[in-house]
Structure 1
Amino acid sequence: MVKSAENDHGENRKQQEDDVILENTPINFTMSQTRKNNSSEGETKPQTSFVNKFLRGSKAESREEKNDLQTTDSQAGDWIQKAATSDAAKPLSSETELRSSVEENEQFLQKLGEKAVDKCLDLNNCGLTTADLKEMVTLLPFLLDLEELDISWNDFVGGTLHSITQQMHLVSKLKILRLGSCRLTTDDVRALGEALEMIPELEELNLSWNSKVGGNLPLILQKLQKGSKIQILELVDCALTSEDGAFLGQVLPVLQSLEVLDLSMNRDIGGSLNSIAQGLKSTSNLKVLKLHSCGLSQTSVKILAQVIPLLSNLQELDLSANKNMGSSSENLLSRLRFLPALKSLVINNCALESETFTALAEASVHLSALEVFNLSWNKCVGGNLKLLLETLKLSTSLQVLRLSSCSLVTEDVALLASVIQTGHLAKLRKLDLSYNDSICDAGWTMLCQKVQFLNELIELDVSLRPSNFRGCGRWFRHLLCAVTKLPQITEIGMKRWILPASQEEELEWFGQDRKRSIRFDHGGFQEADFPLSY
């Protein structure tokens, strides 16, 4: 049980790091910022109204206050007219009353430590209370141009979402809606489904970590019409049922613009993958498919092999933590060759067997665009890394290579060192060889002598398993020598490697010049930072 927990926890952490490499964000928004008024000593400047700051949008922060004040009256007039035409905006008796209302909204945002914006309201993980939510609802009539709303990780949203969805007609330009981990109730889910038809421009919907979505997915998606603009749909750990999966399969043909589909950590949808796969055939624009820990069965894996060749635009594929793939995925893995645009392949902890690994190795030769390759926790890699030799030589774009807990042996590391020396992994930024305790000191020495050729390397991890402690051999001196020649290295994982006093002194020597800092994580669970001289 300890081993399994360590496995899942470590893999989730490392996978999150990989996701940063390949963020798929099709839309970038400019956020306008609220600025506090400054007054010089002995002089009080006229205060710029919040209305002016609110409408300023993406104008440069360096704009002189004089120019700002000149536009205040015209902008305020435009804003008043816009607010007056809103269905939910109540008639205000005077501009003073209007300004008072707006200033209350500004105070609400300041209380939460957030900044007022015209297109983006990010209240993610702000500890919103029920009272805060009510205040936020009163703010919506003034956000007619809102394109992004994020209230994820706020527990008190659950049970009160209807108060927000009732105002959705005011923010019909909304493109991004994130409600992850909000403890949504069944009533919230139903209210959201009714509101979605009022935001036809929606491009991203994130409902991850809301268990009540499970069993109720039709309530949310049933009103999506053909021509829907949704590009990103994230439903991670939503307790989706087999029936939800079947319904999703029916809806997917409607989502012609879909680019990202994340169904990770829904262990009961594996049985409905037939329906999902049929729906995926219509998503020719799909770029990211994540099925981490989805309980894929041998049957569902075979079905997915039939769909993979049709997803020619796919850039990221995550099939990790589906252990039934080990003995039944030869057809699926062999067909990865039909994904020429694939940049990230995450297939860690899938209990791959020799035949399936061979099929993967043969197909990976054709993945010339690959940037992230994660094979961790597949023991069959050990002693067989030579099967990936051609892939490693041809993967000129590879940035992340993870081979943690793969039972690698000294011969595997020697092969890797040879590939590094010949310059085939010149773009590599992260190399994870942790938890491969079978590698002898001679193997680590060969690697450390060649790692200096990885000029773009940022992170290297050679940590031992939690149950194993060993003293560093002579290879450590070669590692220190290589580090001085690596211009971008920032972190070296060396957990459970014990450094004798003499080697500790060598580390301290690196602190003399203090031109940059490298983090050495070593000595059991101890952590030390040493500035590096070079």
Structure 2
Amino acid sequence: MSADPLKDDIQSCQDKHEEDIPKSSPFDFAIKQFQGKRSSPGKRKEQPSAIKKFFRGFDFGQSEGKVRRKIEETEINNSGADDQSEKEDLSVEDGLSHLISEAESPSGEQRFNQFMQKLGKKPNSKNLDLNNCALSAADVTDLASLLPFLPELEEISLSWNGCVGGTLKALTVHLHHVNLLKVLRLNNCRLTAEDVTSLGEAFELVPQLEELDLSWNSNIGGKLSLLTKKIPKGCKIKLLKITDCNLTAKDGESLAEILNVIPNLQVLDLSINKHIGCSMKVIAQDLKNVPGLKELNLHMCGLKQDSLQGLDAALQHLAELRKLDISCNKEIGGGFKDSTAHLASLKNLEVLDLHQCCVTEEDMTVLSQVIPLLSSLQELNLSSNKNVGVSSDPLLGRLRFLPKLKSVAISNCGLGEESFSSLAEAALHLPELEILDLSWNKCVGGNLKLLLGALKLATEIQVLRLSSCNLVAEDLALLTLLTQDGHLARLRKLDLSYNNNISDEGWVVFCQGLAVFKELSELDVSLRPSSCRDCGTWFSELLAALTKLPALAELGMQRWVLSESQRKRLESFNQDNKRNIRFDC
């Protein structure tokens, strides 16, 4: 026994509790405790006894007070470590929960694909075509949230979705995510004044925008300035369409003001805004700021003679113009004699549309001198101008000087035999002619033979319209003969409607030769609305020919009366040949 009783007691106590003292170092023991907590979050492990803590940190040279303080400090430190460990455990749990949540939620691409699938559309990261999809306001909001995942988007088409109106701001505030956007189409979306304002504010977010189509939004009328005053200088807009938007004269002035900030403009369409004609002189004055303009559409804009004069003055600055449409402006009639000084300078003009402009005989005198000078002209529409046919000036005869003409429309022009003969003679010099519309000119009937030579040479002709021309059986026989000789081989559309004077014999001959029109896709043999007539003996010939015309997709037979057996044969033909030819009886 030791001489020191205190040491003996201590040694005895150590021996008694030796199994409670960890054999590893205090650091190793702490690591095991931490690992245990990590493996079982939230479950606290049993704490070591006070005697273990006492002996683990016991210094035999310390006094009893110091030993007591050591024990208290150890308990406090262990308690703090436990709290910190629990906090770390909770943090780890939260992080894992967050990662699991992200893994389970769909990606932006998946959301976009689901959105498009719901609307029955194929996803396209560059072209978002949602025309006529019955979009709701919620759909527009969903679409806006998807824009951050479409950085390559170049086209957005939301046309013919009325619910877009009033919700456009939800979309425009996110347009900065698609700053490569080049095309935005919002036709017939019922846009409101707020939408127009939002769109104007979004211009700076899409600096690459080149095409903007706002057509058929009637509420834009009177509010165009909400858009135009926001357009930044140097805007890259190349196409601007505001068709049928109820534009006012004030809107015209607002439009004129922005022409100097969109110098790259190539297409301007203001058609079917009958009040904008009052400001056309102002617009025309600023057209000089868009010298690269290639297409100007002013169809049904309420233009008057003074408007035409202002427009002609602007043409001297538009050397690049390819298309000029001033059709259906009846009040400009009589104004051409004073407003064509610069029209002849348009050497690049390819399309000139003057139909239904109430052109006078004096106008025809000027146009007969100017139009033949448009050496690049490919399409000419003079329809519904009665004085084209009765004028003594030889405009139609001078079309021979326009060998690039591909389309000539002279429907309802009151042609007489003399003017028709002039046209037939000029057509001999139009080898590239593809479309010829002579409808509603009664003199053609019985005189189609005058076009025989031209139709033989016109190897490219694809559309021939002869509606309401008083055609007779001889005219149909001529068409059949031409085709049998290898002419009109590319004819796709043939309109023979409203020619009630053709006899049953004439229809029989035509139907017997119909099978040679191998590329024909549309045929109209309807009668006038006030007429009603039996098909007679030619029905069987027609049905036999149809089986040899695989390209024929549309057949008009209005007012022709079919018997019950004839209807059944037609229905059987459609079913057996898997065709959907409409027979309107």
**Cross-structure match for 1:95:** none
Instruction: Indicate which of 304, 312, 319 corresponds to 1:249.
Output: 312
**Cross-structure match for 1:406:** 469
Equivalent AA in structure 1 for residue 553 of structure 2 = T
- 2:535 corresponds to 1:472: yes
Equivalent AA in structure 1 for residue 475 of structure 2 = D
**Cross-structure match for 1:188:** 251
Instruction: Indicate which of 134, 147, 152 corresponds to 2:197.
Output: 134
Give the alignment of 1:98-497 within 5 angstroms. 104-105=170-171, 118-169=181-232, 172-225=235-288, 228-328=291-391, 330-497=393-560
Q: Bigger relative contact order, structure 1 or 2, given CA contacts below 8 A and separation 6+? A: 1
Instruction: Compute the displacement of 1:329 (Å).
Output: 5.3
Q: Which has the larger radius of gyration?
A: 2
Deviates more, 1:388-397 or 1:123-132: 123-132
* Residues 58-77 of structure 1 deviation map (CA, whole Å, 9 limit, x = unaligned): 7589xxxxxxxxxx89979x
Unaligned runs of 5+ in 1: 1-39, 51-55, 62-71, 77-100, 110-114, 524-534
TM-score by length of 2: 0.71
Counterparts of 1:441 and 1:300, CA distance in 2: 43
* Residues 225-265 of structure 1 deviation map (CA, whole Å, 9 limit, x = unaligned): 27701000000111101001111111111100000000000
Cα distance, 1:102–1:470 mapped onto 2, change above 3 Å: closer
* Residues 418-437 of structure 1 deviation map (CA, whole Å, 9 limit, x = unaligned): 11222201111100000000
Deviates more, 1:379-388 or 1:497-506: 497-506
> Could you list the runs of 4 or more consecutive aligned residues of structure 1 that deviate by over 4 angstroms after TM superposition?
56-61, 72-76, 106-109
Cα distance, 1:271–1:138 mapped onto 2, change above 3 Å: same
Query: How many residue pairs get matched?
Result: 441
Equivalent AA in structure 1 for residue 541 of structure 2 = H
**What SS does structure 2 have at the residue aligned with 1:405?**
coil
Instruction: Compute the displacement of 1:499 (Å).
Output: 0.4
**Cross-structure match for 1:37:** none
Cα distance, 1:204–1:329 mapped onto 2, change above 3 Å: farther
Give the alignment of 1:82-97 within 5 angstroms. none
Contact 1:259 1:288 in 2 (8 A): yes
Equivalent AA in structure 2 for residue 322 of structure 1 = N
Q: Percent identity?
A: 48
**Cross-structure match for 1:47:** 108
Contact 2:169 2:198 in 1 (8 A): no
Unaligned runs of 5+ in 2: 1-100, 112-122, 129-147, 153-166
Q: CA RMSD in A?
A: 2.9
Counterparts of 1:117 and 1:293, CA distance in 2: 42
* Residues 113-143 of structure 1 deviation map (CA, whole Å, 9 limit, x = unaligned): xx99700110111121223223322322211
Cα distance, 1:255–1:222 mapped onto 2, change above 3 Å: same
Counterparts of 1:74 and 1:135, CA distance in 2: 21
Equivalent AA in structure 2 for residue 414 of structure 1 = A
Contact 1:245 1:276 in 2 (8 A): yes
**What SS does structure 2 have at the residue aligned with 1:388?**
helix
Cα distance, 1:251–1:506 mapped onto 2, change above 3 Å: same
Contact 1:145 1:171 in 2 (8 A): no
Counterparts of 2:447 and 2:376, CA distance in 1: 30
Contact 1:231 1:259 in 2 (8 A): yes
Instruction: Compute the displacement of 1:309 (Å).
Output: 2.1
Counterparts of 2:401 and 2:106, CA distance in 1: 65
Contact 1:57 1:117 in 2 (8 A): no
Contact 1:141 1:170 in 2 (8 A): no
Equivalent AA in structure 2 for residue 43 of structure 1 = E
Instruction: Compute the displacement of 1:270 (Å).
Output: 2.3
* Residues 58-115 of structure 1 deviation map (CA, whole Å, 9 limit, x = unaligned): 7589xxxxxxxxxx89979xxxxxxxxxxxxxxxxxxxxxxxx999326899xxxxx9
Contact 2:204 2:232 in 1 (8 A): no
Counterparts of 2:534 and 2:102, CA distance in 1: 64
Equivalent AA in structure 2 for residue 182 of structure 1 = C
Counterparts of 1:299 and 1:367, CA distance in 2: 27
Greater fraction of residues in helix = 2
Counterparts of 2:252 and 2:578, CA distance in 1: 54
Equivalent AA in structure 1 for residue 104 of structure 2 = E
Contact 1:189 1:213 in 2 (8 A): yes
**What SS does structure 2 have at the residue aligned with 1:233?**
strand
**What SS does structure 2 have at the residue aligned with 1:169?**
coil
Cα distance, 1:57–1:439 mapped onto 2, change above 3 Å: closer
